[in-house]
Structure 1
Amino acid sequence: MTKSDTITWIRLSAVRLPLPVPVSDAKVLTGRQRPMTEVALLFADIATAEGHRGIGLTYSKRAGGPGQFAHARELAPALLGEDPSDIGRIWTKLVWAGASVGRSGLATQAVAAYDIALWDLKARRAGLPLAKLLGAHRDSVRCYNTSGGFLHAPVGELVENASAAVARGIGGVKIKVGHPDPREDLRRLTAVRERLGDGVPLMVDANQQWDRPTARRMGRALEEFGLVWIEEPLDAYDAAGHAELAAALDTPVATGEMLASVAEHRELMRLGAADVLQPDAPRIGGITPFLQLAALADLDHLQLAPHFAMEIHLHLAAAYPAEPWVEHFDWLEPLFEERLSIEDGRMLVPGRPGLGITLSEQAHAWTTEVFEAGVAP
């Protein structure tokens, strides 16, 4: 019997990434949240006795970063001595180690950094991009931009951002809606559509802003724009409301990014509440649960459009059987030495092993806390 490799060292890094300008969506304009000024990231770097390395990440917005770091730090000793190939078993071990605080939310989001690092390590060891290790269906994925479409941007800036995204080769544009005055939503969307023309795929995102009657009225008003989807028109946990809306509208309904477990997404699927499912691997606990969810979504013939973290989700989307979308956010780019390539509306899967990312000097400069366990390589 061949001796197994073992995990001998772990380093956790808490990173605070400042945003160039405060960002506002519908939840800010109605007082539910404050503008977003930074993203808190947790990186996990794992090394083995045979010299293999992998890096993973999870994140939080507005609050939760210190909690994720603390939980991951508490779990770190449980990884030492484990075979890094046993990813599913390790995921279960870590989740149950913290099960008293839940098997979703912050607890499993901390586990996600480890899980993603182990998948990165496995693909690097195989000399393959993660998408190829998982079994890619394509070498590029349709992409759309979100970071230029927030509600804090005046309509002129919104239009210029949309034009710049298309000029860069990005395939579609998503615009935030949910303004307290719905006429303003229609004005902004009309301006973007007139600038881009009918041929550019256009999506909108209400960020859970509307109640059911408002969502129905706005959904009907938006039909004329030929949208790819209407995202999060209702509270993320109103699966029944999303199902009713999806049945009533011709425009597809997309949701799922705020959910924190496979079980929560499964309820969406059970009720037919989403035409487009938008899971977020760091939020649901990593790549291991994402693959479970993707298999269920494929069985239900759902479209897939993973939320945020394109550096991870590009690989996962490339391995989904039906043609997916991946979300282009340039926010995390300063953290990495590499850049993802975009051509003809599609994001290209990099040929580098694993996720294909290396932390930049800027990432190290933004690091606020570090924890190490085991023997450094």
Structure 2
Amino acid sequence: MMDKISRVRVSSCYLPLAHPISDAKVLTGRQKPMTEIAMLFAEIETADGHGGLGFSYSKRAGGPGQFAHAKEIAPVLVGEDPSDISRLWDKLCWAGASVGRSGMATQAIGAFDVALWDLKAKRAGLSLAKLLGTHRDSVRCYNTSGGFLHTPIEQLKANAAASIARGIGGIKLKVGQPDGALDIQRVEAVRTHLGDAVPIMVDANQQWDRPTAQRMCRIFEQFNLVWIEEPLDAYDHEGHAALALQFDTPIATGEMLTSAAEHADLIRHRAADYLMPDAPRVGGITPFLKVAALAEHAGLMLAPHFAMELHIHLAAAYPREPWVEHFEWLEPLFDERIEIRDGRMLVPTRPGLGLTLSGQARGWTREQFSFPS
């Protein structure tokens, strides 16, 4: 007998950050400092007693919109076979097609899609990585949370050294300030402090124009960086492609794209050496796997953005050696922790994502919707 989805629950949870976070978008006046992350959780139950947990998220704005869209489309899942994930993605998409097939709409779908994959792996008694087919049992990782622009240089150096001592493999520094000399000073200080052997990345968060990006990329060549991330607007594929062709330092971008189709256009332009898809942003694991297949075919390296609790599984299944971004921000939401050793994250072996929501996550929940009610 076919198992069927019997209940769907969505929750809107707001995760407070310990300190206001500033990157280049704040220093250029385009955004305010980030103080919380809006999480959208989806929990799916079946008639046979199986369950799956998925999530999406939004920073600074969009959390209420994601939750509202998820409430509207959630009922179409009830009565369906949870194994038919690709078909259910299409059904969810068409249920809300009038608002488009990217952006907030697909981010709401992402929470359901992740929950369905989590459920499927649990039913198989496998971790998500094993269900997809792993190429490795650990993945290189780098820390971003210690390198934001609000951090003074001495603290920046201390944060970087502490991350390496903890076993994290690389350090990413935010750049893109109005005064580029400050960016150079900060990168040079950390490179000198850590030495030449430690992998360092930089991220301009889309805040340079083309002449500034060329100038800064040329200067940064001396620091032997793993990549320069988002030097230009996320949709300036031609500009990114020109930088990737001109400089030895790889160009990384893709985190702001919100569909597989947008990533396909980026790849067609050869606009990145490192592709940085974000599974919740593109609509979940189903479209992420399409992006990964395109990236592999194009010979690109992979470094998924944020949400290490999910992306560790997806990166483990990518044929070429990837990087995963270490952010401890989401840890209070879950009872489990990812183990880090010798510069790498160990892929969890628990069934599914290997995650359960913490009591703290329940406490930060502001709204819930269940169907049937």
Q: TM-score, normalised by structure 2?
A: 0.99
What is the DSSP-based 3-state SS (H/G/I as helix, E as strand, rest coil) of the residue aligned with 2:78? coil
* CA–CA distance in structure 2, aligned partners of residues 11 and 38 of structure 1: 22
Structure 1 residues 189-239: Cα deviation after superposition (integer angstroms, max 9, x where no partner) = 111111111111000000001000000000000000000000000000100
- The match for 1:157 is 155
* CA–CA distance in structure 2, aligned partners of residues 161 and 125 of structure 1: 41
- The match for 1:166 is 164
* CA–CA distance in structure 1, aligned partners of residues 59 and 372 of structure 2: 30
- The match for 1:182 is 180
- The match for 1:24 is 22
* CA–CA distance in structure 2, aligned partners of residues 240 and 95 of structure 1: 30
- The match for 2:285 is 287
- The match for 2:319 is 321
- The match for 1:346 is 344
Q: How big is the shift at 1:80? A: 0.2
Mapping 1:98-109, distance limit 5 Å: 98-109=96-107
- The match for 2:229 is 231
What is the DSSP-based 3-state SS (H/G/I as helix, E as strand, rest coil) of the residue aligned with 1:174? strand
* CA–CA distance in structure 2, aligned partners of residues 164 and 180 of structure 1: 28
One-letter amino acid of the structure 2 residue matched with residue 22 of structure 1: P
* CA–CA distance in structure 2, aligned partners of residues 177 and 335 of structure 1: 29
- The match for 1:249 is 247
Structure 1 residues 300-322: Cα deviation after superposition (integer angstroms, max 9, x where no partner) = 11000000000000000000000
Gaps of 5+ in 2: none
- The match for 2:264 is 266
- The match for 1:364 is 362
What is the DSSP-based 3-state SS (H/G/I as helix, E as strand, rest coil) of the residue aligned with 1:235? coil
* CA–CA distance in structure 2, aligned partners of residues 149 and 284 of structure 1: 26
Q: How big is the shift at 1:46? A: 0.4
One-letter amino acid of the structure 2 residue matched with residue 313 of structure 1: H
What is the DSSP-based 3-state SS (H/G/I as helix, E as strand, rest coil) of the residue aligned with 2:313? helix
Q: How big is the shift at 1:96? A: 1.1
* CA–CA distance in structure 2, aligned partners of residues 196 and 85 of structure 1: 48
One-letter amino acid of the structure 2 residue matched with residue 366 of structure 1: W
- The match for 2:111 is 113
- The match for 1:89 is 87
Residue 125 in 1 paired to residue 104 in 2? no
Gaps of 5+ in 1: none
What is the DSSP-based 3-state SS (H/G/I as helix, E as strand, rest coil) of the residue aligned with 2:16? strand
* CA–CA distance in structure 2, aligned partners of residues 90 and 52 of structure 1: 17
- Identity among equivalent positions (%) equals 70
Structure 1 residues 319-346: Cα deviation after superposition (integer angstroms, max 9, x where no partner) = 0000000000000000000000000000
One-letter amino acid of the structure 1 residue matched with residue 184 of structure 2: L
- The match for 2:195 is 197
* CA–CA distance in structure 1, aligned partners of residues 159 and 184 of structure 2: 17
* CA–CA distance in structure 1, aligned partners of residues 357 and 30 of structure 2: 34
What is the DSSP-based 3-state SS (H/G/I as helix, E as strand, rest coil) of the residue aligned with 1:75? helix
- The match for 1:39 is 37
What is the DSSP-based 3-state SS (H/G/I as helix, E as strand, rest coil) of the residue aligned with 1:142? strand
What is the DSSP-based 3-state SS (H/G/I as helix, E as strand, rest coil) of the residue aligned with 1:17? strand
What is the DSSP-based 3-state SS (H/G/I as helix, E as strand, rest coil) of the residue aligned with 1:241? helix
Q: TM-score, normalised by structure 1?
A: 0.98
Q: How big is the shift at 1:10? A: 1.0
- The match for 1:312 is 310
Residue 135 in 1 paired to residue 118 in 2? no
- The match for 2:13 is 15
* CA–CA distance in structure 1, aligned partners of residues 62 and 119 of structure 2: 26
* CA–CA distance in structure 1, aligned partners of residues 276 and 130 of structure 2: 22
- The match for 1:72 is 70
* CA–CA distance in structure 2, aligned partners of residues 23 and 121 of structure 1: 34
Q: How big is the shift at 1:37? A: 0.4
* CA–CA distance in structure 1, aligned partners of residues 164 and 233 of structure 2: 30
Structure 1 vs Structure 2 CA RMSD? 0.6
Q: How big is the shift at 1:353? A: 0.3
* CA–CA distance in structure 2, aligned partners of residues 206 and 197 of structure 1: 22
- The match for 1:298 is 296
Q: How big is the shift at 1:109? A: 0.4
Q: How big is the shift at 1:97? A: 1.1
Structure 1 residues 170-193: Cα deviation after superposition (integer angstroms, max 9, x where no partner) = 000000000111110011111111
After the TM superposition, which parts of structure 1 deviate over 2 Å for at least 4 consecutive aligned residues? none
* CA–CA distance in structure 2, aligned partners of residues 50 and 272 of structure 1: 47
What is the DSSP-based 3-state SS (H/G/I as helix, E as strand, rest coil) of the residue aligned with 1:209? coil
* CA–CA distance in structure 2, aligned partners of residues 148 and 224 of structure 1: 23
Q: How big is the shift at 1:374? A: 2.5
Q: How big is the shift at 1:351? A: 1.1
Q: How many residues align?
A: 373
